[in-house]
Structure 1
Amino acid sequence: MSKIKERTGTPSANGVSSQQAVAGPVAPPRVSARRRRPGVIALSLALIAAGGAGVAVLLLQVGDRTPVVTVVREVQVGQVLTEQDLGEASVALDPAVKAVRADDLKSVVGKRAAVELKPGSLLSPSQVTKDSLVKSGEQLVPIGLKPDQVPATDLVPGQTVLLVRVPAQGAAAAAADETADDGVPKTIAGRVVKASKAAPGTGVVVVDVATSAKDGPIAAAWVSAGAVRLVLDAPDGR
Structure 2
Amino acid sequence: MSKTQVRTDRPSGTKAVPQHGQAVGPVTPPRVSARRRRPGVIALSLALIAAGGAGVAVLLLQVGHRTEVVTVVRDVQVGQVVTEDDLGKASIALDPAVKAVRGNDLDSVVGKRAAVELKPGSLLAPTQVTKDSLVKAGEQLVPIGLKPEQVPATALVPGQKVQLVHVPAQGQAATGNDSDTRPETVNGRVVKASSAAPGTGVVVVDVATSAADGPTAASWVSAGTLRLVLAAADGR
* TM-score normalised per structure 2: 0.73
Q: Which moved more, 1:118-127 or 1:90-99?
A: 90-99
Determine the structure 1 residue equivalent to 2:113: 112
* Amino acid in the other structure paired with 1:193: V
Determine the structure 1 residue equivalent to 2:227: 229
Unpaired segments ≥5 residues, structure 1: 1-43, 174-179
Match of 2:234, SS state, is helix
* Amino acid in the other structure paired with 2:157: V
Determine the structure 2 residue equivalent to 1:152: 153
Instruction: Return closer, same or farther for 1:127/1:181 CA change in 2, 3 Å cut-off.
Output: farther
Instruction: Return closer, same or farther for 1:78/1:143 CA change in 2, 3 Å cut-off.
Output: same
Q: Which moved more, 1:65-74 or 1:197-206?
A: 65-74
Deviation per residue, 1:196-234 (Å, 9 max, x gap): 000011110000000000100000000011101100111
* Amino acid in the other structure paired with 2:210: S
Deviation per residue, 1:81-134 (Å, 9 max, x gap): 111111111222222222111111001001100000111111111110111111
Contact 1:73 1:118 in 2 (8 A): yes
* Amino acid in the other structure paired with 2:77: Q
Contact 1:169 1:225 in 2 (8 A): no
Q: Which moved more, 1:46-55 or 1:58-67?
A: 46-55
Determine the structure 2 residue equivalent to 1:192: 190
2:210 paired residue among 209, 212, 233: 212
**4+ runs deviating over 6 angstroms:** 44-51
* Cα distance between partner residues in 2 of 1:47 and 1:120: 43
* Amino acid in the other structure paired with 1:124: A
* Cα distance between partner residues in 1 of 2:52 and 2:85: 44
Pairwise CA RMSD: 3.7
Match of 2:221, SS state, is helix
How many equivalent residue pairs?
213
Determine the structure 1 residue equivalent to 2:70: 69
Contact 1:156 1:195 in 2 (8 A): yes
Per-residue deviation at 1:191?
A: 0.3
Unpaired segments ≥5 residues, structure 2: 1-44, 173-177
Per-residue deviation at 1:50?
A: 7.9
* Amino acid in the other structure paired with 1:65: R
Q: Percent identity?
A: 82
Per-residue deviation at 1:66?
A: 1.8
Determine the structure 2 residue equivalent to 1:15: none
Alignment of structure 1 residues 6-155 onto 2, 5 Å = 52-53=53-54, 55-155=56-156
Contact 1:146 1:205 in 2 (8 A): yes
Determine the structure 2 residue equivalent to 1:201: 199
Per-residue deviation at 1:57?
A: 3.3
Match of 1:139, SS state, is strand
* Cα distance between partner residues in 2 of 1:81 and 1:181: 49
* Cα distance between partner residues in 2 of 1:122 and 1:108: 13
Instruction: Return closer, same or farther for 1:182/1:216 CA change in 2, 3 Å cut-off.
Output: farther
Determine the structure 1 residue equivalent to 2:164: 163
Match of 1:207, SS state, is strand
Per-residue deviation at 1:147?
A: 0.6
* Cα distance between partner residues in 2 of 1:131 and 1:141: 19
